[in-house]
Structure formats: C-alpha cells, structure tokens
C-alpha cells in the first residue's frame, strides 16, 4: 500500500502543485490519477519514487517513509513508464529491457531468459525484436518495450505517466487491452496518470479525480460514474456518464432466466406462453436459434422453422452491458442471448433490464 499523508508540493510561492493530499493506494490494484492539465498528477506520481521532493507531509510504502529509504533501492523496486518511453536510443531492445537486471548483477543467462519472457508477455516476438534499436520500432512497439523494461526486475510497484499518450487512438486501445491482460496476470500495484477518461474507465480499479492540487474524489470507476460527489467530477466524466458506466458492467450481472424450447421437441412445449419469441436449444443446452411464437409455421419441425443467430447477435459472458446495448441497437432487437464459448446458453439480457438498471440509478 502507498499512503500519502498530508502531502504538499510547492515548486515556488506561486506554484502549489499538490495541496495537502491524504489517500491510500491499495496494493495489487491499478489506481488512476486523472484531472485537467496542471492539476498535479505527475507531481503526485514523481513524489513516490522521489524524483520530486514533497514540501510537506510524507509518503509511506507498506508503512515505510520513502524519505528514509535508500533512493537507488527505492527506485529499483519501482518500475517507471513515461510517455515517449525514454528508451536509451543507442541500446538494443534487449539491453534496454536488461538495464535494471544488469544493475542488480543478474547472471547473463537469467537476463536473456527474462528478456525473452518479457518480450513475449508484451506481444513482441523475441527473435525479431531483441536486437533492434529503438529507432527501428513503431510508437506502439516502443511503448511495449517501455512496459517490458519497467517490469524487468519484477518490481511490486509500477508508476506510469501517460504511457500510451503518444500513439494513435487504435494502437492506444490495443495497448490498453493488452496491458489490462498483463495486469490481470501480474497484479502489480500500479499508479497510472492520464487525462483520458475512457482510458481510466477501461483500466482502473480506482480513480482519483484531481483538480488544482487536490483530490476531489477517490473511488471505484463505478462509484465515480454513478455518484460523482461534485459538479466538477460530474462534468469531467462527460455527458455520456451513463453509457460509460454500462461499459464497466459485465452482462453476466444482468442475465435473466427466460423461456427456451427444445429444438428437437414438438410445438406443444410453447403452451400458453406470452413471449413473442423464444430461444431454441439443443439437448446439450446449446443455442441453435430463435422461434417467432405467433408467426412460425407449426407444420414444420422446430429446427426448420427457427431463425439462426448471426454471430454478432450472440454475446459472450465477458461482453459488457454497453456492448449488449450497442448490438441491440444495431440489430434492432430487444434482447440478446449470452452464450459460453462451448455454445452453452446462459440466458438473455434485455433492453427492458438495461432501462431498469439505468432508471434505478437516477432514482437513487
């Protein structure tokens, strides 16, 4: 845990970058510092690894004041990733990644193994990339090497300052997704500075919204989106706050049980149903399609009368409610099925359920 206690930073009399902040960054989570330009995000980050010295207060890592620690060992225990990477231009990718392991005097074979492992982790084929120079890399590749370098000696803490800020929007989203996957595996304590709200919502376990050197709200993304504490936070989250919130909720939380029929059975199964359409499943509860209750030709076997699903109309358990809503709008339907990779049907998510969810938010 990283604890800030009444931390202040005055660069000079006119510039108070950070004003008396007290908060705790939980271990093994990703905490985002977000806020407008000049609000003190980078200063807050750099005080953790003592690139910037606080004017007042103290910062504790697992109870130990960073001021009391040997600065070199403090920094070796903290990976650091910045915008435009800061790779050493005359050193190969391999040597860039090996910087800290070499300082720690690791054996050559251990370093080689670690470099290959990290290149694979960040999605770069070791044999093609290890000997390249930074100038031979694209922006996205360089950023991946930056992440690999920060992870090299397996530090428990990683500080990231706008790490994906300098790449195009598509590459950025890809890097975010890959990074989210890496964090799911490694569970590092990460402090991540950005001014991109979508990035924050995509990656954060917790978000600290900063303004003029203060933390206005420190909460989970869900809480900040559902219950912004101040007008500034509300406005900063944007007018599509409700949609952003849906992007954090997995469909699995809102799956409804619903009527289904056995595709190999007969039409009597429908009985007196009030539904307009019903999902048709095979004997192993795999989704085969859907049946229009009033307009199907009941002379035919169900298998021949049903409508098969298009791939884009089937949600997987890791889809978000926002994705579900977007696909319903695209396909003009009011409910979509959620299906496991194996094809097994889990239930449906409906437009009515999503409306209920957003309505209950407004009423809170």
Ligand X SMILES: Nc1ncnc2c1ncn2[C@@H]1O[C@H](COP(=O)(O)OP(=O)(O)OP(=O)(O)O)[C@@H](O)[C@H]1O
Which residues contact ligand X by CB under 6 A? 11, 15, 17, 35, 37-43, 195
Q: Which is nearer to ligand X, 38 or 169 (CB)?
A: 38
Q: Which is nearer to ligand X, 215 or 315 (CB)?
A: 215
Q: Which is nearer to ligand X, 140 or 213 (CB)?
A: 213
Enumerate the β-bridge partners of residue 207.
32, 219
Q: Which is nearer to ligand X, 216 or 278 (CB)?
A: 216
Closest distance of CB 40 from ligand X, Å: 4
The helix (run of H) or strand (run of E) holding residue 3 is strand 2-10
**Alpha-carbon Rg of the chain, whole angstroms?**
26
- Residue where the block lists tokens 């007969």: 266
Q: Which is nearer to ligand X, 42 or 350 (CB)?
A: 42
Closest distance of CB 42 from ligand X, Å: 3
Phi and psi based region of residue 35 (left: phi greater than 0; alpha: psi -120 to 50; beta: remaining): left
Total length of the chain: 364
Rounded to whole angstroms, how far apart are CA atoms 223 and 227? 5
b/e 46-71 (16+ beta carbons within 10 angstroms → b): bbbbbebebeebebbbeeeebeeeee
The torsion angles phi and psi of 105, rounded to 5 degrees, stand at: 60, 45
Rounded to whole angstroms, how far apart are CA atoms 171 and 196? 15
Q: Which is nearer to ligand X, 34 or 328 (CB)?
A: 34
Residues 6+ apart with CB under 8 A from 185: none
Nearest alpha-carbon partner for 320 in 309, 310, 328:
328
- Residue where the block lists tokens 């059975």: 265
Closest distance of CB 53 from ligand X, Å: 11
Q: Which is nearer to ligand X, 17 or 209 (CB)?
A: 17
Q: Which is nearer to ligand X, 15 or 307 (CB)?
A: 15
Joined together, the tokens standing for residue 227 give: 């219950």
Closest distance of CB 46 from ligand X, Å: 8
Closest distance of CB 48 from ligand X, Å: 13
Q: Which is nearer to ligand X, 232 or 267 (CB)?
A: 232
Closest distance of CB 246 from ligand X, Å: 27
Rounded to whole angstroms, how far apart are CA atoms 336 and 334? 7
Nearest alpha-carbon partner for 47 in 12, 13, 17, 90:
17
Closest distance of CB 39 from ligand X, Å: 4
Burial of 190 (0-12, 13-18, 19+ CB in 10 A): buried
DSSP 50: T
What number of other Cβ atoms are within 10 A of residue 147's Cβ?
24
Closest distance of CB 38 from ligand X, Å: 4
Rounded to whole angstroms, how far apart are CA atoms 110 and 183? 23
- Residue 216 near residue 189, CB atoms below 8 Å: no
Closest distance of CB 210 from ligand X, Å: 7
Closest distance of CB 35 from ligand X, Å: 6
Q: Which is nearer to ligand X, 82 or 148 (CB)?
A: 82
């Amino acid at each position: 845990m990283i604890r800030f206690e009444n931390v202040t930073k005055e660069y000079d009399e006119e510039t108070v970058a950070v004003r008396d902040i007290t908060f705790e960054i939980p271990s093994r989570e990703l905490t985002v510092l977000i806020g407008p330009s000049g609000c003190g995000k980078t200063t807050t980050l750099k005080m953790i690894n003592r690139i910037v010295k606080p004017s007042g207060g103290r910062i504790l890592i697992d109870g130990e004041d960073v001021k009391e620690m040997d600065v070199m060992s403090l920094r070796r225990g903290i990976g650091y990733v910045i915008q435009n990477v800061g790779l050493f231009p005359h050193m190969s990718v391999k040597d860039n990644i090996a910087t800290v392991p070499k300082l720690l005097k690791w054996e050559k074979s251990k370093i080689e193994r670690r470099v290959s492992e990290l290149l694979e982790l960040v999605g770069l084929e070791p044999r093609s990339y290890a000997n390249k120079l930074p100038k031979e890399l694209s922006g996205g590749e360089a950023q991946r090497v930056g992440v690999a370098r920060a992870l090299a000696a397996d530090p428990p803490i990683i500080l990231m300052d706008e790490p994906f800020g300098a790449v195009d929007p598509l590459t950025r989203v890809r890097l975010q997704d890959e990074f989210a996957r890496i964090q799911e595996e490694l569970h590092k304590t990460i402090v991540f500075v950005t001014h991109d709200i979508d990035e924050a919502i995509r990656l954060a376990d917790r978000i600290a919204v900063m303004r003029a050197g203060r933390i206005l709200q420190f909460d989970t993304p869900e809480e900040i989106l559902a219950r912004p504490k101040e007008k500034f936070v509300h406005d900063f989250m944007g007018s599509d706050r409700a949609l952003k919130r849906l992007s954090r909720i997995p469909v699995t939380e809102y799956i409804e049980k619903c009527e289904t029929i056995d595709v190999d059975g007969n039409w009597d199964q429908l009985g007196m149903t009030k539904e307009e359409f019903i999902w048709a499943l095979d004997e192993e509860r795999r989704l085969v399609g859907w049946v229009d209750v009033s307009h199907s030709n009941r002379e035919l076997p169900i298998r021949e009368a049903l409508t098969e699903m298009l791939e884009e109309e089937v949600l997987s358990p890791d889809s978000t409610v926002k994705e579900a809503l977007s696909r319903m709008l695209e396909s003009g339907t009011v409910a979509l099925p959620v299906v496991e990779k194996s094809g097994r049907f889990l239930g449906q998510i409906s437009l009515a359920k999503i409306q209920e969810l957003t309505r209950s938010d407004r009423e809170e």
